Amino acid sequence: MHAIAQLTKTARACAAVVGMVSLASLVLHYALLYALTRDTIGPAAATVRFFSYFTILSNIGVVLVAVHAITGRPGFFANARTRAAVMLYIGVTGCVYLLVLRHLWQPQGAQWWADSGLHYATPLLYGSWWLWFALHGRVGWNDLRWWLLFPAVYLVWALLRGAWVHEYPYPFIDVDRLGAMTVTRNALLVFALFLLAGAALVVIDRMSGRKRRH
């Protein structure tokens, strides 16, 4: 039986809330970015910049999981392993922002709403949904290796784009300002966070799966 068949009406309703919060935050953030850059770098470059943030990609993952949960459609984002991977990505997004990035700026007005939705509300809401409603007991240690592939590919993309346009999505990977050695150290620290958080998710998933079977 496919994982999506296990979802109750309550689970789908809660997924709708999670998806709407994330989607609204994404749309608002893009609108603000577009308004800020339309007379400078233009809409095409602004769109590339938008999709160059790991925060944006992880929130898009949340929206896609929510859509599959709401509609009952099978597919990649209805898979228990994919939902756990999205939990890892959005969880690390929230942790890095809370520990490192939130001290670097003070968003106001609409930007505060977009920022809070992407970095606080969505990680908390999706984390709660995943714990309570996602199908557990389906992931293993081998999945952790595949989960780490996406952030590794993202890092390569962010560094290559940064070397080309001299613009980096996050200050701790700004090679132009920090140098290659410091960025390498920072990248390894973030990778370690992904590894530890992913291992914790595997343990939580296995414990939750056993508990529900009993």
In DSSP notation, 190-212 reads: HHHHHHHHHHHHHHHHHHHHHHH
CB 49 within 8 A of CB 33: yes
- Per-residue pLDDT reduced to its tens digit, 1-52: 344 446 889 999 999 999 999 999 999 999 999 999 988 889 999 999 999 9
Q: Residue 42, SS3?
A: helix
Q: Per residue in 125-140, is it b (16+ CB within 10 Å) or e — as a string? A: bbeebbeebbbbebbe
Of all helices (H) and strands (E), which one includes residue 22? helix 9-37
- Per-residue pLDDT reduced to its tens digit, 7-18: 889 999 999 999
Q: pTM here?
A: 0.92
